[in-house]
Amino acid sequence: MRFTAWISTLLALVLAPPQPAITSATDLIAAMQRQYGGSWYKTATFVQKTTTVAADGTSKVATWYEALAVPGSLRIDFTPVSDGNGVLFTDGKTFSFKDGKVASSRPYVHPLMLLGFDIYKLSAAEVTAQLMGLKFDLTKFHTEAWQGRRAFVVGADAGDLRSAQFWIDQENLYFVRLIRPAGPNNAQTQETQFNKYQRLGGGWMAPEVIFKTDGRVVTTEEYSELRADVLLDPNLFNPDFWTTVHWRR
């Protein structure tokens, strides 16, 4: 019986149609959507430990409660939730809340939401438009080694670690690294890493996120209590219901 099952698996691998080669950003987006478009989770929740590191090495730790709906919405409640402070990203905008009220809002496409989650659920045309809006040069494409694995790099030539670029794991087709110029006159370089990926629902999530500025770690995020395809009230992502709808208190 085991031999029969082994033969069946082998035949399935041999007879499976070859996957198209990935040699461009367009190919990469198509491959990511082909791999996970039908299975990636639509919602998720997790608890985030946020550590902010000052230039003198001292740090502050905070707990955030996060909920996301893919594509396009991420809610971050700062603890204690009863204070009504946090941030909401939804419908191409960001809202900052103070004492339960909107303190500010502006148009915003969240690059980490787009690359880490939304890319699997938006149309290829929408993904391309948003990436171009974020100033990635989609004509530049190469491969690099990253943390002992291979990665596709979009937005920069080999050896360029300054231009806006994103890195996608070659085998599992998930986002692992973002580099962008930042600060006054773009004199600084910001880097974000998605690390220690683990399976979640029909997709993945990186429970460690590291933010660097000019090579120095400025913030780390550690996720726990990861849950996929959670039933969430749509009003959780409506700024008018910020203080009345919660997934966790």
* Annotated domain spans of the chain: 27-241
pTM comes to 0.91
Is the per-residue pLDDT at 14 higher than 90?
A: no
Mind listing the pLDDT tens digit for each residue in 119-146? 999 999 999 999 999 999 999 999 999 9
Q: What would the mean pLDDT of 202-214 be, rounded to a whole number? A: 98
Residue 218: strand, helix, or coil:
strand
Using a pLDDT cut of 70, give the percent of the chain over it. Answer: 93
Mind listing the pLDDT tens digit for each residue in 56-113? 999 999 999 999 999 999 999 999 999 999 999 999 999 999 999 999 999 999 999 9
Q: What would the mean pLDDT of 209-231 be, rounded to a whole number? A: 97
Mean pLDDT of the chain: 94
Instruction: Give residue 13's pLDDT.
Output: 45
Domain 27-241 top-level CATH class:
mainly beta
Q: What would the mean pLDDT of 143-169 be, rounded to a whole number? A: 98
Single-letter amino acid, residue 34:
R
Q: What would the mean pLDDT of 184-195 be, rounded to a whole number? A: 96
Instruction: Count the alpha carbons within 13 Å of 60 in the hemisphere toward its beta carbon.
Output: 4
- Quote the CA–CA distance of 50 and 61 in Å, as a whole number: 6
- Quote the CA–CA distance of 181 and 188 in Å, as a whole number: 6
* Structure token digits, residue 60: 């502050």
Strand positions, DSSP E, the chain: 43-53, 59-69, 73-78, 86-90, 93-98, 101-107, 141-146, 149-154, 165-169, 175-182, 188-195, 198-200, 203-205, 208-213, 216-228
